Amino acid sequence: MKKWLISKVKDTDNIYAMRDFNGRVGKRRTPWEAHLRPFSETTTKCNRNGEYLLNLCAEHGLVASNTFYQHKRSQVLTWYKCNNINYCTESTTTGQKADHAKDG
């Protein structure tokens, strides 16, 4: 995701970024608690793209909104192949305004 694009968003606007990040963020842990909610994936470790996603969230005040809601095991990963997962992010100020975050 281009940082210059995010930087053009007004502070009063909400950001929703949906992308195939091909990342795993793993379980909630320091220093990422503010960007992962209670239902983050706990059976996997964070990979390089997951670190990228978490850094993007930290830099721009975003959260991985997939982690707001408890899903059936088959729905925890929006898409899975080897070590790839899709994530949706949203501004931390939007809180839980979205009904759910699920691909498909």
Domain edges within the chain: 14-93
Going through the chain in order, the beta strands assigned E by DSSP cover: 16-19, 62-64, 87-91
DSSP string covering 31-44, please?
A: T-GGGS-TT---SS
Model confidence band, residue 104 (pLDDT cutoffs 50, 70, 90) = very low
Residue 100, phi then psi, degrees to nearest 5: -165, 165
For the entire predicted model, the pTM comes to 0.63
The first and second tokens of residue 61, run together, are 């005040």
Give the tokens for residue 99.
């009904």
Q: What mean pLDDT comes out for the span 14-35?
A: 78
Residue 46: pLDDT above 80?
yes
Tokens of 70: 């408890």
pLDDT in tens, 73-85: 666 555 555 554 4
3-class DSSP assignment, residue 84: strand
